[in-house]
Amino acid sequence: CSKMAAHVNNPSSVASLLSWSLRSLVANFSCHANHVHTLPPNIKDKLVHLMSKRGVIKDDNIGKVVHGKMRELDLSESEVSDVSLEQLAVCRNLRKIDLNAVKGNTTTVTTKGIISLVRSCNLLQVVYLRRCTEVTDDAIVALSENCRQLMCLNIGGCSKITDRSLEALGQNSRMLRSINFGHTRVTDDGVISLATGKCRQCLAEVHMDGCHLLTDDAVEVIMESCPRISILIFHGCPKLTDRSRVALEELSGPNSKMKQVTWTIY
């Protein structure tokens, strides 16, 4: 008995037993689905992490594993839709959600789902939506209006995004410090609204590569208006000229905070 007690009290043994149990649960989830909701939040977090890595979170099981204390959720490897996002209404403390499409574009996450999400989870600070091609300006406007603590946003490859999204972010997202809107339909007007908006003092990282409508004005306004800018990515923008390079040299100066710059001059 004493040997057994020593083994049970060994933290590494307990951790190994828990890890094995979680792997077994994931492998046989359908057999235990009706009981998962009784697990404590800290165990659910470990379960969700494992399911996320394996890409097995789906519309029909997500409601059983999420909980009200959850702060982060990675769905980038999983096949989910608006149905899943509507089930996140209980996650009032959610701070980060990753819906990036890692295997090409996704059309199952749409504006409807994002609006439902941000109305329930208004403490979100980090939102990744890369290549969610059915996400439109209405979703980003709702995000900016409901989630006032937003700090990081990736809408790269969301091909329906226009200036309206950047205008809303400039008006509402005071804490925004990192944004990727590469390969969208934004123009100089949208970038101007963002760079001169309420986030201008926080904005440190901007990815706007592959935006075919942008000109040198977009680069210049970011360099002139955003004193904390340290990462600026704007390669693949065919309307840019050598003027952007000159602006970088003139406006960065000897005390520049720039860490990374990529561009293509046509």
Q: pLDDT tens for residues 146-171?
A: 999 999 999 999 999 999 999 999 99
- Residues 265/226/183/167 CA torsion (nearest 10 deg): -130
Q: Give the pLDDT confidence score for residue 136 in this predicted structure.
A: 98
Beta bridge partners of 134: 110
Calpha distance 156→151 (Å, rounded) = 16
pLDDT at 17 > cutoff 60: yes
Average pLDDT over residues 251-265: 73
Q: Hey, is 259 helix, strand or coil?
A: coil
Q: Is the model's pTM score more than 0.85? A: yes
**Token pair for residue 263?**
């561009």
Q: Give the pLDDT confidence score for residue 253 in this predicted structure.
A: 64
Alpha helix segments (H runs only) across the chain: 2-9, 11-27, 29-32, 41-54, 62-65, 82-86, 111-120, 137-146, 163-172, 188-195, 216-225, 242-252
Lowest mean pLDDT among 9-18, 195-204, 210-219, 239-248: 9-18
Band (2; pLDDT cuts 50, 70, 90): very low
Q: Residue 66: left if φ>0, alpha if ψ -120 to 50, beta else—which one?
A: beta
pLDDT at 24 > cutoff 90: no
Calpha distance 240→34 (Å, rounded) = 57
Beta bridge partners of 179: 153, 206
Residue pointed to by tokens 């890890």 = 19
Beta bridge partners of 206: 179, 232
Higher local confidence (pLDDT), 17 or 46: 46
**Residues 6 or more apart in contact with residue 87 via CB below 8 angstroms:** 59, 62, 63, 66
pLDDT at 81 > cutoff 50: yes
pLDDT at 1 > cutoff 60: no
Tell how strand 126-128 and strand 106-110 pair up: unpaired
* Helix/strand number for the chain, H first, E second: 12, 10
